[in-house]
A and B are shown apart, each in its own frame.
Chain A
Amino acid sequence: MTSLPEPVAHLVAALGRLPGIGPRSAERLALHLVQADPGQVRQLAESLVSARERVTHCERCGALTETQPCAVCGDDRRDAALLCVVERPLDILSLEKSGTFRGRYHSLGGKLSPLNGVGPEDLRIAELERRVPSESVKEVILALSSDVEGDATGHYLAKRLAAFGVRVSRIAQGLPAGSGLEFADELTLSRALEGRRELS
């Protein structure tokens, strides 16, 4: 049995380190690339390098950006009194797509998880504590995941931020818009019931 030429094996190994790419997919991608049009491959390589070189984290909020500060942090029409805390930069994009939030963001870069060795010092919590007084934030909105670690992180932040006298809130949990009760799991339903609102 002949093995793959060495450059291809290297490529397979490199692709296999990407998230969501298993050994099979890595091999398929590599074999596709080494047989594709050289121009196309060069273009791909160039866009990989340029994307990596041009995109950084916004020094203020942690979002992915080309400019410092990012477009949201640099936008004066944004309400600086509202600060929405998320886990990952990607979450900012999701919230921005909804188009309803007019405040600013702060990405933590993760959540507390002693099991995975992630503590407060690994998250951008110190930065958050600097921003709250310096940007005169009135309300911090926690938009974290609803698993145990996310809930614990929310609890932790609420305690830390209590010293600044800001309002700390958490986004509501409940049914996805447009779906019926039959698809919701028990925990979602019980949290939806807890967070019910009066109709006026």
Chain B
Amino acid sequence: MHLARLRLRDFRNYLRLDAEFVPGFHVLLGDNAQGKTNILEAIYLLATLRSFRGVGGTQMIRHDAKGYFVGATVVGAAPAEIKAYWSPRERKLSLNGNPVKRLADYLGTLRAVVFCTEDLQLVKGTSRVRRRFLDLLLSQTQPGYLTLLLRYTQALRNRNALLKQPQPDAEQLASFTAQLVSLGEQLMAARRTFTPKLSPLVRLAFRRIAADADELILEYQPSVAGDFAVALANSRARERVLKTTVIGPHRDELGMLVNGQPAGQFTSEGQKRTLALALKMAQAEYLTGIHGAPPVLLIDDVMGELDARRRAGLLPLLNQARRAGGQVFMTCTAENWPAELGREFVRWQVQGGTLAAV
């Protein structure tokens, strides 16, 4: 699939942008703070309906504007026309002219994987970051997973509200516990079967780019050992003190072991970077394998930070995208891409919220 057309109105520093993109490689050149990453952010937003910078909608509105608009034409199995408008008071999302009623119907219209400095949080950050990574990938590839996740979250929020009451009604708690258990077990089962499928891809990607012959294993570490219902019942005493649900899929961890050691604590800074990159490469490869077409790759200034070896490791993925008629968007401050990538680029100059083909 590829993004054929992008339209921005009042998005970040773009008052107005209308651009057309062919399949292949696009390099966005420009000085810092000119709006290169904002373009990647807009594309990612259309794919996932959130920002990869971890900010809410308000921050993406151009200064003094009421709301932003992002529109796109995506050419995939079938062409899709996306229009998204966001303001603090109003949210509109339409696909081919029809308002989107269910998130599950929309996600998958545009698939994108972003490589950015924030990726490092996948290794350094809390388990929430890794759960989100897992959830996003499962939502993009497994029908029904998103619905399940949303229902689980709703059951959890209700149950936590109940636990915050001075004297939670036991029968009522049991009813929401039953919902939580049934939905939670399905979530855990999905994560448990999925992790072993992703792990070899991450291991291969890691081996390709890591300097040493380190072994990487991805491991699903559920917060619940054994039966969820039993474990919940056993955690009642702690729940009474903390007034919240202390175990369940919302506390799961995606463990990463380098040579048998937890990656977050033992690896060097450079290794953490390699690991984060490997996770993202595996994500892109997994999506390609499932859907038969590579996702749009968004690469934010990463190339500059990587040494030759890691850059070279990224090459197969980029070449695959090229061969399969996919699309890659890369931001750079200078023309510092590796010579081995060839010279077939579409160059764009980004300056003060404008985009011009060079």
Contacts and interface: CB of A to CB of B under 8 A. Distances in A.
Contacts of A159: 171, 174-175
Nearest to A157: B175
B318 interface: no
Interface in A154-183: 155-156, 159-160
A119 interface: yes
A72 to B, nearest CB: 28
Nearest to A117: B161
Interface residues of A, number: 21
Interface string A169-200: 00000000000000001110010000000000
A112 B159 CA distance: 11
Contacts of B151: 147-148
Interface residues of B, number: 24
B144 to A, nearest CB: 4
A120 interface: yes
B223 interface: no
Interface string B179-215: 1000100000000000000000000000000000000
A146 to B, nearest CB: 10
A164 to B, nearest CB: 15
Contacts of A186: 104, 143-144, 147
Interface in B148-194: 148, 151, 154-155, 157-159, 161-162, 165, 169, 171-172, 174-176, 178-179, 183
Given A113-B158, A149-B158, 20 more contacts: A114-B159, A115-B161, A117-B161, A120-B169, A120-B171, A120-B172, A147-B151, A148-B151, A148-B154, A148-B158, A149-B154, A152-B172, A152-B176, A152-B179, A153-B175, A155-B174, A155-B175, A159-B175, A187-B144, A187-B148
A153 B178 CA distance: 11
